[in-house]
Structure 1
Amino acid sequence: MNLTSLRSQCFHGLEPGPKLIVLGAVHGNETCGTRGIERLLGELDRGELQIVRGAVTFVPVTNPLAYLRGQRVGERNLNRNLGPKAAPQDYEDRIANALCPLLAAHDVLLDLHSFHTGGEPFAMLGPENNSGALEPFAHAAAEEAMALRLGARRLVEGWLDTYAAGVRTRLARTAPSERAQLLSTDPDYGVGTTEYMRRMGGYAITLECGQHQDPAAPDFAWRAIRNTLAQLGLTGETPPPARSDCELLKLVEVVDRLHAGDTFARAWASFDPVSAGDLIGTREDGTEVRAQRDGFIVFPNPAATPGNEWFYFARRSERALHT
């Protein structure tokens, strides 16, 4: 594995069309995307699939150091605080300086991930169209139509605005002298590949293809790539129909772990349902953390560093999706 360069492979159709980029292994222990991309590259090389319009770029291993080590990060999380760095401080900063111009040169991003605990695949959507300061966006319909064809039944929205609200809460309890040491008190720390792509004028989906070791996850990633290529018209294949049974959830709150002694009431998994009043966890001082309403636990992290995200809370979204 070469740690001094970022490998990408691009195919250009001979007719005009959109430019898609597909990422694997943004987190080094999430290899389903890498395997799915490798399978797709083999089909293209053998002529079993052809790019007829637009262009597609594949980055099978987006974080080579983390991939080589078989762990989530190399020196830090590449999928946080993503942006070009004039004075790179770590390996991920140097990767970002190669990756960000590559993202900006494309129209659409499919970022392939997997998750630690069991569960079914899900896709992360961006915001509805808006002209706000945090995440202005104008391609919600196209992004939604893409998400509905990836194969995942569950869709999740609300990442960046919920993270920003969490930052405001975090700042309110953090001493000014400590803030410079906490990247998590910067709203831009929530910016990863998809958020950066939207800032550059494109649209993007993070697709969580299954549990890390699930043998079905690489197949799910491969099929999602094929579906996206067809949906965007890059191949001659018929686009798949929009999935009609999707469940859309909206992240509405992030709760931080404040002390090493904060513990969950049980081993939560993402999307476990809770009812108002259910005990979620207990603080070090004995204070109970209970659900304020009916909803779902998302991204629980029992080993979270104190001062950072312990879990997210989601509810059913009322957003109407474009097909």
Structure 2
Amino acid sequence: MSSTPTHLRIHQYAGLQPGPRLLVTSAVHGNEIHGTRAMAEIMRQLDAGELTLRRGTLTLVPIVNPLAHQLNRREGDRNLNRNLRPPVVAQDFEDRIARVLCPLIAQHNGILDLHSFQGNGPAFAMIGPRNNSGELEPFAQEATESALAAALGVTRIVEGWLSTYALGIARRQQRSHDGSRRASLISDPHYGVGTTEYMRSTGGWAITLECGQHLDPNGPEVARLAILRTLVFLGMLDASAVEPHRPAQPPEVLQLHDVIDREDMGDQFAREWASFDAIETGQLIGTRASGEAVLAPGAGRIVFPNVKSQPGTEWFYLARPSDRQLP
């Protein structure tokens, strides 16, 4: 029987000239390993002298959640990429990771967090809010995130994560729950905060790159090129280290605006949805166990439809075109 992991493996390359401090993470969800494989190749190239770090500090964490990775599933005891903060008292394995991960994040200027997704579709990036001084997610790094996301080579960029979560959590708080730790976590106002949101709370910038479907054979190369393009963007590698991204057209930018929870395991989708499938106003998305139809409130896209979601957690998201301008 495998024992519970007791450490995180962290690799760091310190340039001899001062510069940005970049953190790259993968397997925050244990079965999402495109970034894990990409980092192995990046480290090989650095160690062999095929890549030269010009300046700054590069920190690589190939497996952020070793318990979930060992179990080959998304979570260990719970979802590490929600409720991420240093715990006062550690109550689960992910809390113990947070004790190490949160200070590590705070030591860096920015994070590239590499993920993958369940359904089919091309890679896409997720970025933070516009510059603002509001209560939910005050931020001043909009220009950096927009420019870097545009340089990564994806055809789609998504914004609006934390503000969308706030809507969903408000609904959850209106529902009664059983008083369990799980129920408390998913209705906590902090629930939408993961690696990138925590980085922004420290004043840094953050990009989530969804590198494709979990088993997409091209995923590790998508992740590797993203790491190299980020390093070039930051001036940490020579531009010759990677082919520049020359898009035929600018990326599509979408804004998440709502998240719909599954209420019962009997809730069923009307069809097999994939992320970014188009939906029309009034279109049937699914049916509740009660027989109630779940209809699209407006035209847009469905994002992260999850047939495996548990009652009380995210079933799917809704997105619409954004007016955000990229460099």
Shorter-chain TM-score bucket reads over 0.9
Q: Percent identity?
A: 53
- For the Cα contact (< 8 Å) 2:157–2:251, is it kept in 1? yes
Q: Which moved further from structure 2: 217-226 or 237-246?
A: 237-246
- Displacement of 1:241 in angstroms is 5.0
**Residue 283 of structure 2 is aligned to residue 278 of structure 1:** yes
Normalising by structure 1, we get a TM-score of 0.95
RMSD across aligned C-alpha pairs, in angstroms? 1.7
| Correspondence for 2:199 among 197, 217, 226 | 197
Normalising by structure 2, we get a TM-score of 0.94
Task: Specify the code of the residue in structure 2 equivalent to 1:121.
Answer: A
| Correspondence for 2:297 among 273, 289, 292 | 292
Task: Specify the code of the residue in structure 2 equivalent to 1:81.
Answer: N
The match for 2:209 is 207
- Distance in 2 of aligned mates of 1:39 and 1:170: 42
| Correspondence for 2:143 among 141, 144, 153 | 141
| Correspondence for 1:266 among 268, 271, 274 | 271
| 1:13-162 alignment, distance < 5 Å | 13-162=15-164
- Displacement of 1:292 in angstroms is 1.4
**Residue 314 of structure 2 is aligned to residue 314 of structure 1:** no
Task: Specify the code of the residue in structure 2 equivalent to 1:175.
Answer: S
Secondary structure, counterpart of 2:297 in structure 1: coil
- Distance in 2 of aligned mates of 1:225 and 1:26: 16
Task: Specify the code of the residue in structure 2 equivalent to 1:227.
Answer: R
**Residue 238 of structure 2 is aligned to residue 236 of structure 1:** yes
The match for 1:175 is 176
- For the Cα contact (< 8 Å) 1:153–1:246, is it kept in 2? yes
The match for 2:224 is 222
Unaligned runs of at least 5 residues, structure 2: none
- For the Cα contact (< 8 Å) 1:171–1:179, is it kept in 2? no
The match for 1:253 is 258
Task: Specify the code of the residue in structure 1 equivalent to 2:261.
Answer: D
- For the Cα contact (< 8 Å) 2:35–2:62, is it kept in 1? yes
- For the Cα contact (< 8 Å) 2:37–2:220, is it kept in 1? yes
Secondary structure, counterpart of 1:79 in structure 2: coil
- For the Cα contact (< 8 Å) 1:299–1:311, is it kept in 2? yes
- Distance in 2 of aligned mates of 1:309 and 1:200: 27
Q: Which moved further from structure 2: 240-249 or 99-108?
A: 240-249
- For the Cα contact (< 8 Å) 2:26–2:113, is it kept in 1? yes
- Displacement of 1:114 in angstroms is 0.7
- Displacement of 1:204 in angstroms is 0.4
User: How many equivalent residue pairs?
Assistant: 321
**Residue 14 of structure 2 is aligned to residue 9 of structure 1:** no
- For the Cα contact (< 8 Å) 2:153–2:245, is it kept in 1? no
- For the Cα contact (< 8 Å) 2:152–2:245, is it kept in 1? no
- Displacement of 1:177 in angstroms is 6.7
Cα distance change on mapping 1:136 and 1:242 into 2, 3 Å? farther
